[in-house]
Amino acid sequence: MARIGVFWIYKETVLGKSAGLSEGHENVPGIVDSPYDHVDCWEHDPSFVQPFPELRGSEYQTVPRGRVLFDTKSGSPIVYHGRELMNDRSHALIAEFFNFESTSASWRIDPHYATSQEEIDSMLGDLDD
């Protein structure tokens, strides 16, 4: 059964926290989200960076990341992530970690998950005006 949660991908490794659908909540009717958020997981669970000591002290938003939700109407996962993860290899890694077939998911780019400074600046616009 597909799982929901948050994740990062670093060096072709998924660093994530998953939950069963029964552990999730529906803030939007028909869309099940996990009880986890990136900030709390990254800052309060050292196991996320343990395999990669170079990540110690880094900010959670500097590593490509995303979130897996579940659409109860279609019976399929919805995956939001940054532009840099819109590729078959990343999708395969995410699908394996969250226990679903890559082709069954809806893959969506969310600018909220941008990691490149250029993309972040573009989202924020020119704040000096």
* Count of Cβ atoms closer than 10 Å to residue 88 Cβ: 8
- Domain residue spans of the chain: 4-124
Instruction: Identify any residues that bridge with 66 across adjacent strands, giving them in sequence order.
Output: 7, 81
> Which pTM was predicted?
0.90
pLDDT, tens digit, 9 for 90 and up, residues 30-59: 999 999 999 999 999 888 788 899 998 888
Percent residues over pLDDT 90 in the chain: 73
Compute the residue count for the chain. Answer: 129
Spatial separation of the C-alpha atoms in residues 126 and 42, rounded to whole Å: 29
In this structure, are residues 102 and 95 in contact, taking their beta carbons and an 8 Å threshold?
yes
